[in-house]
Amino acid sequence: MSMHRLLTALGCALTAVLATAWSAAPPTWPARQAAATTVRTHGGLVRGAAHDGYRTFEGIPYAAPPIGRLRWAPPRPAAPWSGVRDATRPARACPQPAGEVPGGSTDEDCLHLNITTPDGARPAHPRPVIVWLHGGGFTTGAGSSYDAHRMAVRGDVVVVTVDYRLGTLGFLAHSGLPGSGTFGLADQQAALRWVRAEIGAFGGDPHNVTLAGESAGGYSVCAQLASPAATGLFDRAIIESGPCTGRPDRPFAPSSVPLSTARGAGADFAAKVGCGSARDVMACLRRVRVSRLLAAQETDQQPAYATPLLPGDPAAAIAAGRFHRVPVLIGNNHDEGNGWAAGIVQAGHPVTPDTWPDVVASFFPAPGQAKAIVREYPVHRTDGGPVFGAVIGDADFACPTAHTGSLLAAQVPLWRYEFADEHAPPLASGTPPFPLGAPHASELPYLFDLGGRPRDLTAAQHRLADTMIDYWTRFARTADPNNPSSPHWSRRTVLSLAPDHIGPAGRVRIRHHCAFWNGLG
């Protein structure tokens, strides 16, 4: 295994470790004591749960189970049901290895969504809707991991979290297979169509839908912005730590690949599970057990472009102005790369002045790039891990986010932020080899109770969480995050979000080397 693939695998393994910090804890959901509440959908009646100030409806199917002949097929409408469907607990997550979902999942009947609605939301008084797409590298994650009741109640919005096909089941590409490389994105669109048609019964406004996501979920929002098939499915967009200009050669941030590349990977995968020489490769693949598919799939997964759903790379589409004209809120975290760097160091790969040139060269093999990066980001005796984290953060997140913001701002109203709480609560147990600051995903506990469990925030962090929810939900309501009770957010500057400072982010707070990366290419 090359150094590049080894370190990437270690980084993805770290993501899985971090994800366990917000895994949906099994004792949490059944322990709820709540009254029933029933809503009629076109598919049938669903019975959710009424809580103190909000209602939840979980595990509602938005598409048919993608099993049998529907494995690797575009999503089909869900069949209606008789009687009242229990919606008081989440359905199983889409197939994935163990990590965020304890023990993983092999259940392909997974195209479900969860709804959290404030008490005041009724069909006669609809509220704005936020549809949340989870992250996890297009390989792991579950909508049920994101308890949205704080956002729903404080922001007076309806929040929908979505499960979509992941890994090779979501993004396999094969010659002659309709939907190649984009099944997971097609699922997201099916969920958005369901929301447009059904959310009114839950008190949501089907004419005011914000599509939001983080990491792979944020990049999914980028893909939907660039997808002609998503026309009319959402009215605003929120992109957290998933810049639309991600590139396959920057492996920590999500990106897409050409269909030809995806088909090559699909052919290799078919051979790996014993179907490469079958007379009917797809029929053979559809007979393979999910556990074997999961064991054989690559750690990295990307949607494919040059497809009907995604005609072009989102980066190129947005640069050319070929995207849906909706207001966008976009941002990143100040120390995005520190979690990966810490995990790699802890896995036995120290970053020292001696090893630093080889580590850089493994990620930036183009002639001259590694030497330029080592000069721009020198490693001294004791600071190797944070320097490595800065390279990952700048190259993969901060600077691509700034570039994405500039492209979008030329066409649509755009609001930019940087989450910068240097004392953000850790998402994983144990002691990291250096302070992580505000790493990838550290803003999520300020918006959601991950796994249904509130984080241990200080009083100042609670105020920051309330302010962030106010900004996010005000944007969903009016396309402008500003409100009288929060510091003004100017479209001309990046808003820094930290307990001790909510306001324009100056150079001291940002400290990113984007001019260098723009010149490096």
CA distances from 199 to 143, 196, 275 (A): 17, 6, 42
Task: Name residue, tokens 């941002």.
Answer: 331
Angle, in degrees to the nearest 10, between helices 356-363 and 369-376? 130
> Max alpha carbon distance in the chain (Å)?
68
Show Cβ contacts of residue 261 under 8 Å, excluding neighbours closer than 6 positions. Answer: 304
Q: What angle do CA 20, 296, 397 make, to 5 degrees?
A: 50
Catalytic residue among 336, 403, 442, 496: 336
| Residue 336 is among the residues annotated as catalytic for this protein | yes
CB 418 within 8 A of CB 13: no
Give the DSSP letter of residue 20.
G
Catalytic residue among 145, 215, 241, 442: 215
**DSSP state letter for 78:** P
What is the Cα–Cα distance from 162 to 256, expressed in whole angstroms? 21
Q: CB under 8 Å to 3, separation ≥6 — which residues?
A: 358, 359, 362
Active site residue 298: no
The residue annotated as part of the active site, out of 112, 134, 324, 440, is 440
Whole-number Å distance between alpha carbons of 359 and 368: 14
Closest among 341, 66, 362, 361 to 187, alpha carbons compared: 66
Distance between CA atoms of residues 487 and 111, nearest Å: 39
User: What burial letters (b/e) apply to 130-166, b meaning 16+ CB within 10 Å?
Assistant: bbbbbbbbbbbbbbbbbbbbbbbbebbbbbbbbbbbb
440 is catalytic: yes
Tell me the C-alpha distance between 324 and 234, whole Å. 9
The sign of the torsion formed by the CA atoms of 500, 505, 506, 512 equals positive
246-258 CB burial, b ≥16 within 10 A, e <16: bbeebbbbbbbbb
Structure tokens at 212: 């939001």
- Measured CA to CA in angstroms, residue 188 lies from 21, 132, 185, 268, 513 at distances of 25, 10, 5, 27, 35
Question: Which of 177, 239, 253, 171 minimizes the C-alpha distance to 416?
Answer: 239
Query: In this structure, how many other beta carbons lie within 10 angstroms of the beta carbon of residue 470?
Result: 17
Cβ neighbours around 325 below 10 Å, total: 11
Residues marked active site are found at 215, 336, 440
